């Protein structure tokens, strides 16, 4: 199975700061169609996960452009600019390139 | 608007069975594969099963293979997860999700396995 390694496990941030979360995969996530199926999800407290970014860098509808995703092959980053209180929660990267689909262990973003 | 609503969870004893349902709306259910994903308390996300749009293929995580069965009824827009021989380690929130990069999730249903 593809192992997804997220760092850091937690982040303390002040409102208005910018943060980055890293996600590294044990194999390249480029599929045979040339696309990279790496996604970012946010799980706010007591809620189900919500996808923010799909295929590395595409923002889901309604997601503010303070969020951005970059990366390729095995190395990916989620950046959040000007953090707001509603951004707090646990962020997961997920890959659906290889079977079975796998998730990172999560990065908890909390207020400093 | 896509909606996925799970039901059927509860408190059960080890070794017993339970069947979860996920009713879908807002999209053509019969055209999409569906996942079940679970999350143990205070833990991360674990994919456990996938069924193709036409039930032609079903896949399971090793942790549930042979004990859980995924199925669907396209006439009822409903996905199921039949869970047998439940263990304490199956205690989790269970989510259904639409195939296609985890863009849509249900609200989840809690399953607690305890004597």
Question: Which of chain A's residues have a Cβ under 8 Å away from the Cβ of B105?
Answer: 48-50
What are the tens digits of pLDDT across the range B12-53? 999 999 999 999 999 999 999 999 999 999 999 999 999 999
Say how many CB pairs under 8 Å bridge A and B.
46
Tell me if A78 sits within 8 A of A93, measured CB to CB: yes
Question: What does the pLDDT read at residue A11?
Answer: 96
Residues of chain A with pLDDT under 70: none
Tell me if A86 sits within 8 A of A67, measured CB to CB: no
Closest Cα in chain B, distance from residue A103 (Å): 6
Question: What does the pLDDT read at residue A46?
Answer: 93
Question: What does the pLDDT read at residue A57?
Answer: 98
Question: Which of chain B's residues have a Cβ under 8 Å away from the Cβ of A96?
Answer: 101-102
Per cent of chain B over pLDDT 70 is: 100
Tokens 């209180």 locate to: A85
């Amino acid at each position: 199975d593809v192992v997804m390694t997220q760092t850091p496990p937690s982040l303390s941030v002040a409102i208005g700061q910018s943060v980055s979360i890293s996600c590294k995969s044990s194999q390249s996530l480029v599929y045979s169609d040339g696309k990279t199926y790496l996604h970012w999800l946010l799980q706010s407290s007591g809620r189900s996960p919500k996808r923010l970014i799909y295929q590395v860098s595409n923002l889901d509808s309604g997601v503010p452009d303070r969020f951005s995703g970059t990366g390729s092959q095995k190395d990916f980053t989620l950046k959040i600019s000007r953090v707001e209180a509603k951004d707090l929660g646990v962020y997961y990267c997920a890959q659906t390139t290889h079977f079975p689909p796998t998730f990172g262990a999560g990065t908890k973003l909390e207020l400093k | 608007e896509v909606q996925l609503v799970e039901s059927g969870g509860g408190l059960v004893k080890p070794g017993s069975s339970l069947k979860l349902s996920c009713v879908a709306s807002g999209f053509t259910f019969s055209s999409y594969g569906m996942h079940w994903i679970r999350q143990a308390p205070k833990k991360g996300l674990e994919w456990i099963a996938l069924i193709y749009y036409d039930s032609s293929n079903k896949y399971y995580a090793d942790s549930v293979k042979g004990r859980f069965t995924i199925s669907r009824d396209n006439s009822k827009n409903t996905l199921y997860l039949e869970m047998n021989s439940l263990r304490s380690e199956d205690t989790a929130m269970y989510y259904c999700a639409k195939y296609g990069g985890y863009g849509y999730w249900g609200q989840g249903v809690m399953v607690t396995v305890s004597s």
